[in-house]
Structure 1
């Protein structure tokens, strides 16, 4: 699909991977709409971007999802790409009953999975009305395998991965909307600082891979170390099917 001349909504666009994507896509000649919970961070991000506006709100909250979708449809009727990037993660020690793992998991599942389904559903009629549209879900290398540091975060991303595949299959016969999935590995952002994010790749690398994938209509977008796991899985699927 085209990589310029789009109007793109990016949740979690005020920092980290979301901000890197906003910078890359703005520089490529797209109109950008970033979203985040913190108004101060949004304003700071706007100072680093061109051709960009912001909509403050918490997409994990139903009323904010409805309000944001309504504002996009009414005030930005040309929006044709949504990037579901916002997420949360906790260091969730399943071996410690004082951690309240289920409560943390519920927060992760709501933000990383359920809210994405609901927001996408709210925006789908708008996207189906465009000639060239896309839904981009940011999952994770963790979607392929859980880990002892963020096991419930990994589970929420695995759920989003399976939903994304199902949505892509459901929309396969529709020529207007394509469904992309990005699998970042460890990325050097504030979000991942607690699990050694300083050792991760720069967020700009994720943005670069996304733009390349959009141009090629490459719907699955592994990045960095995720490419090895993704390739192995695809090879296994091919062997099974043959």
Structure 2
């Protein structure tokens, strides 16, 4: 008789988890080793939104001795993790899939694929739209006589923060869809709280972006739009709870009786 994953002892689960984590580390390491020779080129590409708008004669600087090596090195490691994201999620999927029902497997796989696509879309949006606007705003409002010379480590921390903030923000449709699909919230209840969600988007934008109206708005508006997308998808696939449906029918019956 074959042993299902639910019947496996804890030690076997831990061994499988260790093996999958080891595969993740190996893939990230291989990607990192393959890209480390291009570390400076990768950093130049990521720094392009700032470099392209710097005034003539301005440049980025390194204020620490090891920064010219460590900043591109660190960025390359993060790029390796981002590139490996589909494989990392596939390993996670392979670990949890045997414990799911068939209908859950059919639902989770498209969600994981869409999550990867949305995360990459968030990164692309941050790079192509957000960074040029934010840096253009910062350099334009600088007082006369102040030369912009950004430290490469500070720039990297700033950019990585924005990348992951927008990458996670673009996961909102998946989160809303799951909340509705699992029955944790009803679409009508979410729709009734639109005003609060809109305000919350701007509060989040204020907390996680630089202290300027442009970057806050650039994050808040897409977040709210993605909330509406998730709400629409949830409504299209929502199946009311049979018990709730019966209760609604009974309530309508009583109302009709009272009207008579």
TM-score by length of 1: 0.29
Larger radius of gyration: 2
TM-score by length of 2: 0.27
Structure richer in strand, relative to its length? 1
Structure richer in helix, relative to its length? 2
